A and B are shown apart, each in its own frame.
Chain A
């Protein structure tokens, strides 16, 4: 785990700092809009004293020895990070120097909300659909679910999202806002959520959860509506993937000898399928949940851009464009941590479901 995170941080560092000449790579940092605090922080990150390189421009010039070698820069960054200092972010639109950690996590809450909603959709649709498909092999429900899952797996998310928006706006245009507080703007069907951050107290930063915790039900409904389309769009691919996995493992399991014995014992079909087959068939699906989480977090980048969702994914492109190393590192490391932890949880789950595996 430590190895994975460490190697990833090196990789990202090399990608953003090592491939370009230092003057280019560091250019975004050398901007007058970074105040003295920023300068200090930068100097610390680069491992140089502000006294030897007094001006911002000096940082970027290789001649007077202000630029330390790449490994030195990495060392400086690593020491800062290990002491809890993630530096400032260069994201455009943020005045002055903003703390990377704060900016990241205020946005990350939105990404988390979106991904969790999509994950819930994936599980509650994908697993039953896979089961139905397998138990009705080559009958109508199988064909339908196969088409839906393959379709979901093949549809470009950005396009699917755009089409959903189009249909939604058409609906609002034709029928009036009705249930929705639609202003006509594409992504902000939830007017209050994003524009008035102070409306409710923030516990988690996720609008849905916060609204629930503060018993603000109109707000809750609004945020639910807001997340609906992006979450469906994000979930569509993973629903397809999960359905296919559950279907094929379920079909494998239904062919197993122990299913034959279970049926020969005179058990009801329901018992055979849900007790005997599903427990075994769910194992492959559990195994890939790490991959599914990676799917969701990766897909979130595109979906957030399409829906102008104020999460981290939406900011990733801008961050990459300005070579905002602090933001990108934090982003990559947090997602990697989530995926690695998911895999650990999978191991635990596995040993609970399958008695043959002991931790």
Chain B
């Protein structure tokens, strides 16, 4: 992989993951290469079972117990997440890498209130959050001051107290609890949930699908992560709600200045919101390019097939499908894993594995047609 001039947040190199099942080993990831640049939205697309979610889970160390990381590294700002100890990794999840999942119904704990599920994040390492919480509250007080043209006695006292506390970075227990709650509510407000104070006390089942997705985004937002992994966040949503969620994601990205890895199977969503795209097939990244470049000039036969099969809402055209079906990764095809379905297969393909090479600036492809 060519050295990229732009600064990267996440560098995944040669990531190989195997799942051990009763029936045999599933070679889920076969040397994934991926890098997310600072401040960008990178789309990771592929069909179900191609390993896009596994990649995300591997990065944050949340693979199920039967998974084994055979090789590879995931560098977050230069530190390898995969080599971290348990506690270090937990802190990395708490602070640096947040993940938002697909189905907001099953991912929120049904018996805990939305508020608790947000505040517990802060409570797990309060000292990390105190400066932000104080800053946030001070801003709120200033906002009240501005709009009311003055402050009540209580708020003045509170402001003085907080300013004093911000020097020592210490808070009393009750004070900390109160601030945590206020902070959580302000986060709920920033993901534009109506009546955040009420939502704070509500349980997931009382929210609509879109609201649950926002609540989950709030849980990521609280941490102001360097990298946000969004795993199929719009899949379970209706188009109108999906549009809301995507819009929200874009706005928040600007506000908290984070990078986003948007995992999806929907090429239309990618076209709408991503800066760059990585296409995955059967455990490999097969093509990476700038989004306009990829849609205008797809090089890998799989990318071409995928783009040709997407039905469009704007024009009526015959869709072409890719022949065959996704391979069983317990018995992956030899060589290039796409060769059994590839219309341009030639003798080299089943015998060797192509590597991801840069064919034009910023456009990488893993196919023997382009050298490999």
List the interface of chain A (C-beta within 8 A of B).
137, 256-258, 260-268, 271, 275-276, 279-280, 353-356
A261 to B56, CA, bound (A): 13
Given the known inter-chain contacts A256-B106, A279-B112, please indicate yes or no for A265 contacting B121, CB distance below 8 A: yes
A268 to B89, CA, bound (A): 11
| Chain A residue nearest in CB terms to B90 | A266
Determine, out of B28-36, B97-105, B190-198, the stretch whose residues face the partner at the interface.
Answer: B97-105
Which 5 pairs show the lowest CB-CB distances between chains A and B? A266-B94, A266-B93, A257-B106, A258-B109, A355-B203
Q: Contact at A275–B120, with CB atoms within 8 Å?
A: yes
A353 to B203, CA, bound (A): 12
Q: Contact at B121–A267, with CB atoms within 8 Å?
A: yes
A356 to B203, CA, bound (A): 8
Given the known inter-chain contacts A264-B99, A266-B94, please indicate yes or no for A356 contacting B205, CB distance below 8 A: yes
Residue of B101, B108, B112 near A275 (CB, 8 A) is B112
Shortest CB distance B133–A (Å) = 17
Q: Contact at A356–B110, with CB atoms within 8 Å?
A: yes
Q: Contact at B110–A280, with CB atoms within 8 Å?
A: yes
Q: Contact at B107–A258, with CB atoms within 8 Å?
A: yes
| Residues 246-282 (chain B) with a chain A CB within 8 angstroms | none
A260 to B102, CA, bound (A): 12
Shortest CB distance B106–A (Å) = 4
Q: Contact at B124–A263, with CB atoms within 8 Å?
A: no
Interface presence of B299 (CB below 8 A): no
Most chain B CB atoms below 10 A, which of A263, A265, A279: A265
A253 to B359, CA, bound (A): 48
Q: Contact at B94–A265, with CB atoms within 8 Å?
A: yes
Q: Contact at B108–A271, with CB atoms within 8 Å?
A: no
A265 to B124, CA, bound (A): 10
Interface presence of B294 (CB below 8 A): no
Given the known inter-chain contacts A279-B112, A354-B110, please indicate yes or no for A257 contacting B121, CB distance below 8 A: no
Q: B245: which A residues are within 8 A, CB to CB?
A: none
Interface presence of B60 (CB below 8 A): yes
| Chain B residue nearest in CB terms to A259 | B109
Q: A280: which B residues are within 8 A, CB to CB?
A: 109-111
Residue of A257, A262, A266, A354 near B111 (CB, 8 A) is A354
| Residues 72-119 (chain B) with a chain A CB within 8 angstroms | 90-95, 98-99, 101, 103, 106-113, 117
Q: B223: which A residues are within 8 A, CB to CB?
A: 265-266
Q: Contact at A268–B124, with CB atoms within 8 Å?
A: yes
Interface presence of B134 (CB below 8 A): no
Q: A257-B103, A265-B93, A271-B120 are in contact. List 7 more A-B contacts (CB 8 A).
A: A256-B106, A262-B109, A263-B62, A265-B223, A266-B124, A279-B109, A280-B109
Q: B364: which A residues are within 8 A, CB to CB?
A: none
Q: B10: which A residues are within 8 A, CB to CB?
A: none
Most chain A CB atoms below 10 A, which of B99, B108, B111: B111
A236 to B32, CA, bound (A): 52
Interface presence of B41 (CB below 8 A): no
Given the known inter-chain contacts A261-B101, A276-B112, A356-B203, please indicate yes or no for A267 contacting B106, CB distance below 8 A: no
Shortest CB distance B101–A (Å) = 6
Interface presence of B216 (CB below 8 A): yes
Q: A263: which B residues are within 8 A, CB to CB?
A: 62, 93
What are 18 A-B contacts defined by CB distance under 8 Å?
A256-B106, A257-B107, A258-B108, A258-B109, A258-B110, A260-B101, A261-B101, A261-B216, A261-B219, A262-B109, A264-B62, A264-B99, A265-B219, A266-B124, A267-B124, A279-B112, A280-B111, A354-B110
Q: A279: which B residues are within 8 A, CB to CB?
A: 109, 111-112
Shortest CB distance A46–B (Å) = 56
Q: B111: which A residues are within 8 A, CB to CB?
A: 279-280, 353-356
A196 to B354, CA, bound (A): 90
Shortest CB distance A86–B (Å) = 44
Q: A355: which B residues are within 8 A, CB to CB?
A: 110-111, 113, 203, 205
Shortest CB distance B188–A (Å) = 16
Q: B216: which A residues are within 8 A, CB to CB?
A: 261
A261 to B62, CA, bound (A): 9
A296 to B205, CA, bound (A): 36
| Chain A residue nearest in CB terms to B203 | A355
Given the known inter-chain contacts A266-B124, A267-B120, A275-B120, please indicate yes or no for A261 contacting B108, CB distance below 8 A: yes
Q: A356: which B residues are within 8 A, CB to CB?
A: 110-111, 203, 205
